[in-house]
């Protein structure tokens, strides 16, 4: 009777690419006084390009490993939803640290459920369409249109 290792099909969590790893190491060694790597809006274009590739791998891994139900699937257009890259980046970096401690991994798994809930709340009705490849550039466009254009006085306040 031949035994097959059922765990052999499970892929490891994607390793961050070199530039990201170097950035994290420099911050840990206090050699770099830059923004945390999950603060996407504050990162350099070079780091953002590498981060995008890694986060895309992380999303694919999360979908392959954890998405048992359709509502657990991170849509392929995740980068087009401004809140998701921030959430996914923070979640991915926490996962790197959590691997060093079993208790932290339990907390990370609890955070996964909370992440999925926040993702689905934010995607709302468009989530199903996005998961099927039918992304709407701005389903909340009616809410943005309701905001009045700022006056010169409001934009110069500081």
Query: Per the domain annotation, does 157 fall within a domain?
Result: no
**Residue 157 clears pLDDT 60, i.e. is over it:** no
Query: Per the domain annotation, does 82 fall within a domain?
Result: yes
Q: What domain range is 128 assigned to?
A: 14-135
pLDDT digits (tens, 9 = 90+) for 108-121: 999 999 999 999 99
How many domains does one find in the chain? 1
Task: Give first-to-last CA distance, the chain, whole Å.
Answer: 75
Query: Per the domain annotation, does 8 fall within a domain?
Result: no
Sequential DSSP letters for 87-106: HHHHHHHHHHHHTT-HHHHH
Query: Per the domain annotation, does 28 fall within a domain?
Result: yes
Please give the model's pTM, rounded to 2 decimal places. 0.80
pLDDT digits (tens, 9 = 90+) for 10-43: 899 999 888 888 888 888 787 777 888 889 999 8
Query: Per the domain annotation, does 34 fall within a domain?
Result: yes
Query: Per the domain annotation, does 5 fall within a domain?
Result: no
pLDDT digits (tens, 9 = 90+) for 50-109: 899 999 999 999 999 999 999 999 999 999 988 899 999 999 999 988 888 889 999 999
């Amino acid at each position: 009777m031949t035994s097959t290792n059922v765990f052999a099909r499970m892929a490891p969590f994607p390793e961050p690419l070199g530039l990201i790893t170097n950035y994290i190491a420099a911050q840990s060694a206090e050699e770099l006084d830059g923004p945390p790597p999950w603060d996407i809006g504050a990162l350099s274009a070079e780091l953002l390009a590498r981060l995008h590739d890694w986060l895309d791998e992380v999303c694919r891994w999360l979908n392959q490993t954890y998405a048992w139900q359709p509502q657990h699937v991170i849509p392929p257009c995740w980068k087009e939803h401004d809140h998701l890259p921030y959430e996914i980046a923070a979640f991915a970096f926490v996962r790197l640290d959590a691997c060093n401690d079993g208790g932290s991994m339990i907390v990370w798994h609890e955070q996964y459920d909370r992440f999925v809930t926040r993702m689905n709340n934010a995607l709302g009705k468009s989530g199903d369409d996005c998961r099927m490849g039918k992304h709407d550039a701005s389903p909340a466009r009616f809410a943005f249109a309701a905001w009045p254009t700022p006056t010169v006085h409001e934009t110069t306040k500081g």
